């Protein structure tokens, strides 16, 4: 179906929490893939479906060990696990040093994720700029989503990243609920000179993020994090046409390069 890259340009504005929240409410079948070359923490942050711990050795690292013989979309699910709540996840590297031996992987991985049958893929790519090879994966995306905080330094880095991109990204502002609309509108005004698909918001909700670590449904469904994630997921899913043939998506990606 479609590969959606989720990333930021500065610091840690909450991309992993946002990716998990979006995966929890995505309106179609979805796989959450942790593709940050600097290393991820889903294996240590969220419980498995049975309430135990995820296996950090099963995921991107185990996929990379066998992918040298060729990588096909059907191979992906051989290395996924399920989070509490049933979300399929491809856990990432556990530390950045592991990326040194996998510089060849990002392009084939991007192509496989972009053509994964029967599910969209949310790829958490973390902070951009540290590993040039991740650009090979990003080039395969049907949509890039850039997250930012509304602070001056974060928005300044966002503007620099927008000037480098040759695609129409979505910009998402992780905003304090007390100034939510004002923060989103201010960032929308600042990025107006760039060609972005749309600017949206996601609530900065520490209590909701804690619920996301182990409690699905009930209180979590009523949290600001999930309520704003559901609205964002609907807009993103509508932006990616599920009926668009894979060949047309490939042509569109090629036109952006």
Which one is predicted more confidently, 216 or 103? 103
In CATH, the number for domain 3-256 is 3.40.50.300
* pLDDT band (50, 70, 90) for residue 254: very low
Q: How far apart are CA 225 and CA 222, in angstroms?
A: 8
Q: Where are the domains of the chain?
A: 3-256
**Residue 30 scores a pLDDT above 80:** yes
Helix locations, 37-179, DSSP H: 42-45, 60-67, 106-114, 134-138, 152-164
Helix residue ranges per DSSP H, 38-167: 42-45, 60-67, 106-114, 134-138, 152-164
Report helix, strand or coil for 173: strand
The mean pLDDT of 142-170, rounded to a whole number, is 93
Phi-psi label, residue 11: left if phi above 0, alpha if psi -120 to 50, beta otherwise = left
Give the pLDDT confidence score for residue 246 in this predicted structure: 44
Ordered strands of the 198-203 beta sheet: 81-82, 88-90, 30-34, 120-127, 3-8, 143-148, 170-175, 198-203
Confidence of residue 233 (pLDDT cuts 50, 70, 90): very high
């Amino acid at each position: 179906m479609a590969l959606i890259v989720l990333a930021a340009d500065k610091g840690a504005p909450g991309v992993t929490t946002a990716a998990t929240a979006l995966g929890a409410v995505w309106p179609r079948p979805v796989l959450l893939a942790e593709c940050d070359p600097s290393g991820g923490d889903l294996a240590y942050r969220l419980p498995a479906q049975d309430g135990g711990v995820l296996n950090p050795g099963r995921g991107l690292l185990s996929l990379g060990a066998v992918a040298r013989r060729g990588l096909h979309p059907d191979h992906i699910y051989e290395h996924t696990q399920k989070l509490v709540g049933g979300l399929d996840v491809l856990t990432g590297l556990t530390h950045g040093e592991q990326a040194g031996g996998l510089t060849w992987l990002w392009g084939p991985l991007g192509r496989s994720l972009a053509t994964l049958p029967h599910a969209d893929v949310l790829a958490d790519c973390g902070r951009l700029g540290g590993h040039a090879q991740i650009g090979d994966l990003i080039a395969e995306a049907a949509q890039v989503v850039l997250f930012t905080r509304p602070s001056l330094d974060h928005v300044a880095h966002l503007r620099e990243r927008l000037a480098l991109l040759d695609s129409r990204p979505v910009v998402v502002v992780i905003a304090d609920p007390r100034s939510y609309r004002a923060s989103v509108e201010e960032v929308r005004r600042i990025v107006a000179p760039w060609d972005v698909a749309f600017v949206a918001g996601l609530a900065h909700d520490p209590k909701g993020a804690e619920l996301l670590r182990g409690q699905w449904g009930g209180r979590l469904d009523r949290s600001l994090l999930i309520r704003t994630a559901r609205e964002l997921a609907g807009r993103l899913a509508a932006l990616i046409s599920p009926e668009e043939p894979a060949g047309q998506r490939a042509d569109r990606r090629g036109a952006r390069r």
